[in-house]
Amino acid sequence: MLNNHDPLAAKLSELDAHGGTHDRQLATLVEPIRQLPAPPGPDHDRKIGLHRGNR
């Protein structure tokens, strides 16, 4: 899952602001995507791979 939603949010804002004949169709897609919660971060400080002090 995406850790950073900034590019997605920027693109959604761009699509939302862009006028045209498909505004209603885009609105039905954009609004549910904006309501998605951000993915939870890891509940640990470990890194993937071989790192010193990874335990």
Please give the average pLDDT of every successive group of 10 residues along the chain, which has 55 residues.
72 72 78 83 78 66
Read off the pTM.
0.35
Does 20 map to a domain? yes
Does 48 map to a domain? no
Q: How many structural domains comprise the chain?
A: 1
Does 45 map to a domain? no
Does 19 map to a domain? yes
Does 50 map to a domain? no
Does 23 map to a domain? yes
Query: What are the DSSP calls for 2-46, one per residue?
Result: -S--HHHHHHHHHHHHS-STTHHHHHHHHHHHHTSPPPPPPSS--
Q: Which residue range forms the structural domain that includes residue 21?
A: 6-36
